[in-house]
Amino acid sequence: MALGDTFKALSEALRRRILVMLREGRMTAGDIAKRLGITPAALSYHLSMLKKCDLVTEYKVKNYVYYELNTSVLDEVALWFGQLGGKKNENENKDPLADNASSDDNSGGSGSVYAGQNAGSL
């Protein structure tokens, strides 16, 4: 599903509340509706929007349908937000540990990225 559809699904406060509830573990639609104080029909609409974006998965066990949070989509959104942060510079595509590895070997350092810095300044 497109990232825009995911943002649209997340724009509704009630759907975000559903995701927070599902973070605690799987739940049935009845349990979710009861905790939110909404009708099953209203919940069905919101769950269908979340399922459409793969934010929620459903599966059946005997006579019950359970809903679970799908964190992989949220990981993709977080990655996208992470790409927006910081300034673009010439070192952006470099491996930050590559330069430290060679300098640590020459200096007899501890191998830590922060070996040359005062621990109190971290």
> What is residue 85's predicted lDDT score, i.e. its pLDDT?
80
Query: What are the tens digits of pLDDT across the range 11-28?
Result: 999 999 999 999 999 999
Residue type (1 letter), 24: E
d(CA 27, CA 39): 16
HSE at residue 10, side-chain half, CA atoms within 13 A, is 14
Indicate the DSSP class of residue 85: S
Phi–psi pair at 102, nearest 5 degrees: -70, -35
Query: What are the tens digits of pLDDT across the range 33-68?
Result: 999 999 999 999 999 999 999 999 999 999 999 999
The residue count of the chain comes to 122
d(CA 34, CA 42): 12
d(CA 68, CA 98): 40
pLDDT-based confidence at 122, cuts 50/70/90? very low
In the block, residue with structure tokens 């769950």: 47
**Residues near 73 by beta carbon (within 8 Å), at least 6 away in sequence:** 1, 6, 53, 54, 55
